């Protein structure tokens, strides 16, 4: 499978959860576990561009597919880790509006935001809330997360300014 652009191979039981493969076998602990039963969205990743709960996906279903996690959003530093000074447009928007507080829902929220922005839907308040309805946040009240996604959508549609 392809994880954040890198081809990876794992030798694990087919029913092992994608979440555990990412966190424990590949060391990608940015994807979180909040409930383990598809209720909280903390484990959201993109599977072939679709938003899925990694706690509900057995690894056998991922064979040969493309996975994207929070670690794959920012630019990478020389050591291959995410470069904190090269945030992508959605991460930057979250940072500026205050869309991340404790940060535990944030990786999943960012992936949901990416799925939404990639869909090309109009970034209305209602559409954004619909898009992140499967991702629980207990800290923010969602207002600043919605603001961040609006800002990201707006910025993404502008030509880059140097």
Partner 1 sequence: MTIRTPTPRGPVRSAPARSAPDALVVPPGEITTGHARGAPLRREGPAKLTGVAKYADDLVFPGAWYGGTVRSTEAHARLDAIELDPGFDWSGVVVVSAADIPGDNVVSLISDDQPVLVPVGGEIRHHAEPVALLAAPDRGMLREARQRLTLRTTPLPAVFDPLQSGEVFAHFDIRRGDVEAALAGAELVVEGIYRVGHQEQLYIENQAMIAVPRDDGGVAVHGSLQCPYYIHKALKRALLLDDRRARVVQTETGGGFGGKEEYPSMIALHAALLALKCKRPVRMIYERHEDIAATTKRHPAIVTYRSGVDREGHLIAQDIEVVMDGGAYTTLTPVVLSRGTLHAGGPYACENVRIRSRAVATNTPPNGAFRGFGAPQVEFAAEMQVNRIAEVLKVSPLELRRRWVYQRGDVTPTGQVLRESVAGEEVLLRATEAAEYERVRERTAGARARRGADGSGREGGDRTASGIGLALGWHGAGFTGSGEVHLASIASVELTADGRIAVLTASTEMGQGTKTIFPQLAAAELGVPVEDVDIAPQDTGIVPDSGPTVASRTAMVVGGLVIKACRRLREEVEARTGRPFAEAYRDDARDHGPTRVDQQFEPYPGVQFDDATYSGDAYPAFGWAACVAEVDVDLDTGEVAVRNVVAADDVGRVIHPVLAEGQVEGGTLQAIGYATIEEIKLEDGRYLNDRLATYLIPTALDAPRITSILVEAPFSGAPHGAKGVGELPMDVGAPAVVDAIHDATGVWIHDLPASPERILAALGATGPTSSSSAGRSRSDKDVEGAVDAAMDAPIEVGTDPLPTERTDAQPFRAPTDR
**Residue 43 interacting partner from partner 1, ligand FES, none (CB closer than 5 to 8 Å by kind):** ligand FES
Name the one residue in this structure whose structure tokens are 């694990």: 12
50-79 binders of ligand FES (CB under 6 A)? 53, 55
CB 95, min distance to ligand FES, A = 13
Q: Compute CA distances 103 → 63, 95, 113, whole Å.
A: 30, 11, 15
What is the torsional sign of CA 138, 143, 146, 148? negative
Which residue, 65 or 76, has its beta carbon nearer to ligand FES? 65
CA angle 142/118/125 to nearest 5° reads 30
Q: Does 25 bind ligand FES (CB under 6 A)?
A: no
Q: Report which DSSP code applies to 126.
A: H
When binding is defined by CB under 8 A, the residue of 12, 63, 124, 143 that contacts partner 1 is 143
Q: Report which DSSP code applies to 96.
A: H
Q: Does 107 bind ligand FES (CB under 6 A)?
A: no
Interface with ligand FES by CB under 6 A: which residues?
33-36, 38-43, 53, 55, 100-106, 137-140
């Amino acid at each position: 499978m392809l994880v954040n652009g890198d081809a990876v191979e794992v030798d694990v039981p087919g029913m092992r959860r994608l979440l555990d493969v990412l966190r424990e076998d590949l060391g990608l602990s940015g994807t979180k576990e909040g409930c383990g039963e598809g209720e909280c969205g903390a484990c959201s990743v993109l599977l072939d561009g679709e938003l899925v709960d990694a706690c509900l996906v057995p690894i056998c279903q991922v064979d040969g597919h493309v996975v994207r996690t929070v670690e794959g959003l920012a630019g990478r530093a020389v050591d291959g880790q995410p470069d904190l000074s090269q945030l992508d447009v959605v991460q930057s928007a979250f940072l500026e509006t205050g869309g991340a507080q404790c940060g535990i829902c944030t990786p999943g929220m960012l992936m949901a935001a990416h799925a939404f922005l990639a869909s090309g839907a109009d970034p209305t308040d209602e559409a954004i809330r619909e898009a992140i309805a499967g991702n629980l946040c207990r800290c923010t009240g969602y207002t600043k997360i919605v603001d961040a996604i609006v800002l990201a959508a707006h910025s993404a549609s502008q030509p880059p300014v140097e």
